[in-house]
């Protein structure tokens, strides 16, 4: 059930009405609200495919029993293996056995969430949860089950123990976040997707300029798609009275790849830090070992995202970038590079790595890179074509601005216009969160902003758009 669907709107409306009635009339509102949330989460998850529920139930049961029984290292390791086994089998056994199995929605996310619960229980970071309902709800909580943010039991489970009465600020903030997420998903990510999919679907025939533009746009597509989902998920949770944290913090304004990963997919980055990097020794070991720890951590990140070599390369590239950044940090600080140069270099490195993430395989990634290397040649071709056919035709040919496949210049102008608005919003809200900025404005200004956002969502969403999100595939 997609957040962007009539079925979800009906589902959520019914849930909210029952949820707040329970808070007012029930003698035991915490228990009844939690039962309602668990039932709603199971319905939400089963809507994707009823068969997926068996995987979810398995992880819930393993998590609960592990939390209660993990008293020594051997039992802990056995439960950890049992917890990860379905994810490993689904992602990697089909590759080995050349078979096609079902891929349960969000299994990577709720498995990592389960692992964190088992590890934290074993290490006494959190008390073992005796209430099965709380564990089941922690694993299956519907706003975050398919694509995060990945939660920690120490943050989310205590929130299940409180009554959630209707709160005006939570409700309105949640609606604002949801609307902003819709704008990013529909008006930016899905518009860009049409062009990117066309160009990457024809890399053998495309010019380097078109492929370069599509690669840069893909950086914004995946950001707006994934952060758009996160904003909607966080908004839904906040409306219901839960704080599930922040998952993105203006990552493309980072001045290094290390900083990028502190701002991008924060819940995964912190999970990798706490459950992979630090257990390997983190930064408390000799420098060569630190570099190895970084590479291993990002190798795990790559493998988590996918079982093919292009994801492995993507992860290793980020590890290499961070090692180089760490080794040259004092040099860059000494020469005092302006912030905008650091931001530009970081964006270029991250965008280059996205080539391997977006490509279907290493061969396609190689073609993309070789085509981009031909950009200087394409520029010289541009002047030749311009002289023969004119400026507009030269741009159309070299940038694949075909009316029948993408919408031509008109569609690209809309994409650029929306991206400029988005970038301006990113710059304005880097220091102060958008919600706080809006609250500080007078009512007339706030409502003008709300109506403008609604206008953009209604009039600038593409005619055809995807209700799926990129990270649901992971």
Average pLDDT rounded to a whole number, residues 231-260: 96
To 5 degrees, how large is the angle CA 62–CA 47–CA 474? 60
CA dist 44 and 46 (Å) reads 6
Query: What is the 8-class DSSP label of residue 275?
Result: I
Nearest to 368 by CA among 382, 380, 358, 381: 358
Average pLDDT rounded to a whole number, residues 217-246: 97
Question: CA 288: distance to chain centroid?
Answer: 31
Q: Select which of 100, 250, 265, 305 is catalytic.
A: 305
Can you give the pLDDT at residue 323?
Answer: 96
The 3-state DSSP class for residue 394 equals helix
CA dist 123 and 459 (Å) reads 52
pLDDT band at 117 (very low <50, low <70, confident <90, very high): very high
Summarised one tens digit per residue, pLDDT across range 36-70 is 999 999 999 999 999 999 999 999 999 999 999 99
Average pLDDT rounded to a whole number, residues 16-28: 94
pLDDT value at 456 more than 70: yes
Nearest to 217 by CA among 424, 423, 416: 416
Q: If residue 173 lies in a helix (H) or strand (E), which one and from where to where?
A: helix 168-182
Can you give the pLDDT at residue 98?
Answer: 52
pLDDT value at 182 more than 60: yes
CB atoms within 10 A of CB 106: 23
Can you give the pLDDT at residue 242?
Answer: 97
pLDDT value at 464 more than 80: no
- And the tokens for 7? 């079925």
Can you give the pLDDT at residue 203?
Answer: 94
CA dist 398 and 393 (Å) reads 9
CA dist 273 and 185 (Å) reads 28
Cα dihedral angle (46, 48, 51, 52), rounded to 10 degrees? -80
> What is the pTM for the complete model shown?
0.95
**8-22, 145-159, 333-347: least confident range:** 333-347
Average pLDDT rounded to a whole number, residues 239-245: 96
pLDDT band at 316 (very low <50, low <70, confident <90, very high): very high
Nearest to 105 by CA among 2, 233, 189, 240: 2
Count of positions (residues) in the chain = 474
pLDDT band at 95 (very low <50, low <70, confident <90, very high): low
Whether 120 and 154 have beta carbons less than 8 Å apart is answered as: yes
Q: What is the chain's alpha carbon radius of gyration, rounded to the nearest angstrom?
A: 24
CA dist 156 and 208 (Å) reads 47
Query: Looking at per-residue confidence, does 164 or 405 come out higher?
Result: 164
Q: What is the mean pLDDT of the chain?
A: 93
- And the tokens for 164? 């959630």
Residue with tokens 């007078």: 442
Residue with tokens 């139930």: 57
Question: CA 298: distance to chain centroid?
Answer: 16
Can you give the pLDDT at residue 35?
Answer: 97
Question: Is 20 an active-site residue?
Answer: no
pLDDT value at 204 more than 80: yes
């Amino acid at each position: 059930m997609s957040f962007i669907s009539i079925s979800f709107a009906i589902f959520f409306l019914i849930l909210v009405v029952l949820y707040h009635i329970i808070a007012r009339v029930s003698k035991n509102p915490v228990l009844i609200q939690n039962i309602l949330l668990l039932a709603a989460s199971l319905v939400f998850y089963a809507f994707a495919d009823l068969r997926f529920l068996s995987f979810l139930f398995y992880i819930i049961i393993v998590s609960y029993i592990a939390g209660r029984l993990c008293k020594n290292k051997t039992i802990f390791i056995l439960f950890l293996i049992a917890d990860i086994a379905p994810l490993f089998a689904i992602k990697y056994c089909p590759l080995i056995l050349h078979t096609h199995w079902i891929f349960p929605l969000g299994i990577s996310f709720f498995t990592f969430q389960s692992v964190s619960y088992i590890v934290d229980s074993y290490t006494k970071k959190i008390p073992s949860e005796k209430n099965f309902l709380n564990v089941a709800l922690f694993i299956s909580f519907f706003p975050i089950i398919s694509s995060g943010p990945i939660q920690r039991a120490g943050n989310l489970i205590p929130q299940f123990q409180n009554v959630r009465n209707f709160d005006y600020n939570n409700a309105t903030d949640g609606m604002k976040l949801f609307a902003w997420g819709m704008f990013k998903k529909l008006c930016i990510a899905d518009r860009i997707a049409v062009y990117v999919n066309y160009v990457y679907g024809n890399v053998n025939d495309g010019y380097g300029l078109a492929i370069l533009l599509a690669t840069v746009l893909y950086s914004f597509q995946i950001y707006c798609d994934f952060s758009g989902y996160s904003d909607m998920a966080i908004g839904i949770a906040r409306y219901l009275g839960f704080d599930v944290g922040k998952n993105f913090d203006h990552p493309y304004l980072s001045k290094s790849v290390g900083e990028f990963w502190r701002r991008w997919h924060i819940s995964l980055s912190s999970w990798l830090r706490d459950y992979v990097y630090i257990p390997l020794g983190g930064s408390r070991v000799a420098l060569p070992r630190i570099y190895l720890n970084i590479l291993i951590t990002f190798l795990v990140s790559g493998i988590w995202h996918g079982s093919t070599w292009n994801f492995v390369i993507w992860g290793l590239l980020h590890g290499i970038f961070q090692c180089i950044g760490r080794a040259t940090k004092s040099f860059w600080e000494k020469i005092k590079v302006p912030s905008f140069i650091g931001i530009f270099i970081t964006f270029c490195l991250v965008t280059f790595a996205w080539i391997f993430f977006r490509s279907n395989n290493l061969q396609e990634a190689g073609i993309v890179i070789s085509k981009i290397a031909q950009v200087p040649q394409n520029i010289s071709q541009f002047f030749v074509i311009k002289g023969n056919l004119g400026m507009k035709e030269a741009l159309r040919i070299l940038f694949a601005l075909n009316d029948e496949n993408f919408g031509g210049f008109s569609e690209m102008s809309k994409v650029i216009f929306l991206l400029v608005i988005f970038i301006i919003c990113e710059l304005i809200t880097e220091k102060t969160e958008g919600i706080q900025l809006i609250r500080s404005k007078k009512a007339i200004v706030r409502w003008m902003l709300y109506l403008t956002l609604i206008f953009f969502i209604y009039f600038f969403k593409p005619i055809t758009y995807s209700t799926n999100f990129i990270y649901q595939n992971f």
